[in-house]
Structure 1
Amino acid sequence: MDPHLLRTYVTVARLASFSEAARELGYTQSAVSQHIAALEQDLGAALLTRRPVRPTAAGERLLEHAGPLLLRLDAARADVLRMASAPEHGLTLAVTPTALGPRTVAALPAAGVTLRALARADIPAAVATGAADLGLVDGLAAPSDPLRLPDVAPLTTCGVAEEPVCVLLPAAHPLARRPGLRLADLVDARWLDAPGAGLPLDRLHTAGGAGGVRTALRYEGTDLRTLTTLAAAGRGLTVLPRSFTTDVPGAVAVPLVAPRLVHRTELIHGGALRGPAAALAHELTEQHRE
């Protein structure tokens, strides 16, 4: 299967238009039509209806395979280029907001760093394809357990930080004076679902058993201050790393003591590291050993 034809098909299916796909890819519309016809002939199946432009059942199945296949190809290209090219002076680091704890920030080079805030699920792909030199992804885990990351390419991961987590409550909340909280204490609570700014709730939902956790409000931004302001205003509870819960006006942070969960941060990279990426990786891993 020709990957060029596959990319054309994915683009046409995404845009639902041969002409729009031709414009995005820099081809003529005739060339796009020829690509689709050649791919259909190769597979022996119709992949798209023409009016409207929509994937057939076989086309939908191909789309399920196409993303991982094309990502692997992009990752292979990026990996080879990393080995063949000289190390750059700059450093692009893909991060989630809560992965940038105080010690991590202190380890960053004084200049030449670009921080790219991405969704957790997108960081491995960004590193694999060369869009970022390194990735820092975080989440809730049992102590010393690795995070569950998507398998997008041969990548190296290592833990660089672990710290306790706290439940952020309004100062007037009945449980705000507790020395510690169990998830069972919060069975009737409503939570803030903020996958871009806070920690994902799926791990809490699993740990909560049959009751799970119930969402009061979903925040789709990446600003931590907005998230903590919502929690302080009583719009829902949130769990954050302990270092992110100090000095939040109108809110109290109470340690989550059961189940035993920590905020874990992992460094992701592909291939051998050189230059600023190698220096930062060394600094972060050495900090974690201390």
Structure 2
Amino acid sequence: MDPHLLRTFVTVARLASFSGAARELGYTQSAVSQHIAALEGDLGLPLLARRPVAPTRAGERLLEHARPLLLRLDAARADLTRMAAAPAGDLTLAAAPLAVHPDTLAALPATRVTLRVLPRDEIPAALAAGTADLGIVDGLAAPNDPLRLPDVAPLTATRVAEAPLAVHLPAGHPLAHRPGLRLGDLIDARWLDAPAAGLPLDRLRAAHGTPGFRPALRYDGTDVRTLTALAAAGHGLTLLPATIPPAPGATAVPLTEPRLVHRTELLRTGEPAGPAATVAAALTTPPQSARVGHPARRG
């Protein structure tokens, strides 16, 4: 399959428009139509319904393959571009909101650094596309278990830290004075749904194997202080690393069951050099030998 044709198909399907895809890709509408016809001819299947524009069943299946394939191609181009370019000394670090803590900030160079705070699921793609030199992702995990990462590029992940978890809730909440909480006790509680700033509710459901944890309010921002303030105001519970202090009027009760931690990992696509190597060493070299590097899991 010609990757140019494949990229045109993905763009038409995403925009549901041949003319919109032509504008975005810089082609004529006739050229876009020819690309789609050539791809359909190559595969021997109709991929797009024309009115309205929508993927066919075969087109939906092709999209499942096409998006990661194109991302891997972009990753290969970005990787080779980095090899060919002379090191400029600049550093771009993409980090998830909960990964931006004092230790992370202390490891950054004083100048020529860009810190991009992104939703955790976008960080591997940013490294693959070459828009970030290093990434810091986070998530729920059993102690010493690596995070599961998407297979978007050859990524190497190294553990940065693991922290216990705590439930943030108003100081007047009936559970606020308990010494610890079990996740199973909170299935029917009202939760804050903050997939970027906090730990997504679908991860809690997966950890407990239940469809509970219903959201009371959704927060689409990335500011963790806003999230803790929402919990203090009684808009819902949130689960955060124990290193995050509660907002005034709230308390943080340790999670005692199941045995889960907030895990932070450093991502890279190759052997870092210059400022990237300095930052990587500062983040992943602990005072004790408790942090272990591992190849990234994909899935």
TM-score of the superposed pair, with normalisation by structure 2: 0.91
State the shift of 1:25 in Å: 0.8
The aligned counterpart of 1:150 is 150
Is the 1:168–1:245 contact (alpha carbons within 8 Å) kept by the matching residues of 2? Answer: no
State the shift of 1:26 in Å: 0.9
Is the 1:216–1:235 contact (alpha carbons within 8 Å) kept by the matching residues of 2? Answer: yes
The aligned counterpart of 2:192 is 192
The aligned counterpart of 1:260 is 259
Pairwise mapping of residues 74-153 of structure 1 onto structure 2 (< 5 A)?
74-153=74-153
State the shift of 1:6 in Å: 0.7
Q: 1-side partners of 2:212 and 2:54: how far apart?
A: 38
Is the 1:182–1:258 contact (alpha carbons within 8 Å) kept by the matching residues of 2? Answer: yes
Is the 2:119–2:222 contact (alpha carbons within 8 Å) kept by the matching residues of 1? Answer: no
Pairwise mapping of residues 37-48 of structure 1 onto structure 2 (< 5 A)?
37-48=37-48
The aligned counterpart of 2:296 is none
State the shift of 1:176 in Å: 1.4
Matched, 1:202 2:202: yes
Cα RMSD after superposing both structures: 1.7
The aligned counterpart of 1:182 is 182
Q: Could you say what secondary structure the match of 2:286 adopts?
A: helix
Q: 2-side partners of 1:116 and 1:210: how far apart?
A: 34
Is the 2:188–2:212 contact (alpha carbons within 8 Å) kept by the matching residues of 1? Answer: no
Q: 2-side partners of 1:289 and 1:18: how far apart?
A: 58
AA matched with 2:142: A
Q: Could you say what secondary structure the match of 1:252 adopts?
A: strand
Q: Deviations over 1:103-138 (max 9, x none)?
A: 111111112221222222211111112111111100
The aligned counterpart of 2:242 is 242
State the shift of 1:287 in Å: 3.1
TM-score of the superposed pair, with normalisation by structure 1: 0.94
Q: 1-side partners of 2:54 and 2:169: how far apart?
A: 48
Residues 263 and 288 of structure 1, relative CA distance in 2, 3 Å threshold: farther
Matched, 1:162 2:162: yes
Of residues 29-38 and 204-213 in structure 1, the stretch that sits farther from structure 2 once superposed is 204-213
Q: Could you say what secondary structure the match of 1:244 adopts?
A: coil
Q: Could you say what secondary structure the match of 2:148 adopts?
A: coil
Q: 2-side partners of 1:28 and 1:244: how far apart?
A: 52
Q: 2-side partners of 1:252 and 1:268: how far apart?
A: 33
Q: Could you say what secondary structure the match of 1:263 adopts?
A: strand
Is the 1:179–1:254 contact (alpha carbons within 8 Å) kept by the matching residues of 2? Answer: yes
Residues 74 and 185 of structure 1, relative CA distance in 2, 3 Å threshold: same
The aligned counterpart of 1:63 is 63
Q: 1-side partners of 2:75 and 2:287: how far apart?
A: 28
Is the 2:97–2:119 contact (alpha carbons within 8 Å) kept by the matching residues of 1? Answer: no
Is the 2:89–2:275 contact (alpha carbons within 8 Å) kept by the matching residues of 1? Answer: yes
Residues 17 and 185 of structure 1, relative CA distance in 2, 3 Å threshold: closer
The answer for unaligned runs of 5 or more in structure 2 is 290-299
State the shift of 1:289 in Å: 4.4
Is the 1:231–1:238 contact (alpha carbons within 8 Å) kept by the matching residues of 2? Answer: yes
Q: 2-side partners of 1:32 and 1:196: how far apart?
A: 35
State the shift of 1:225 in Å: 2.1
The aligned counterpart of 2:29 is 29
Pairwise mapping of residues 191-230 of structure 1 onto structure 2 (< 5 A)?
191-210=191-210, 212-230=212-230
State the shift of 1:186 in Å: 2.5
Is the 1:141–1:203 contact (alpha carbons within 8 Å) kept by the matching residues of 2? Answer: no
Q: Deviations over 1:54-89 (max 9, x none)?
A: 222222221111101101111111122222222232
Residues 114 and 288 of structure 1, relative CA distance in 2, 3 Å threshold: farther
Residues 215 and 8 of structure 1, relative CA distance in 2, 3 Å threshold: same
Q: 2-side partners of 1:30 and 1:243: how far apart?
A: 57
The aligned counterpart of 2:281 is 282
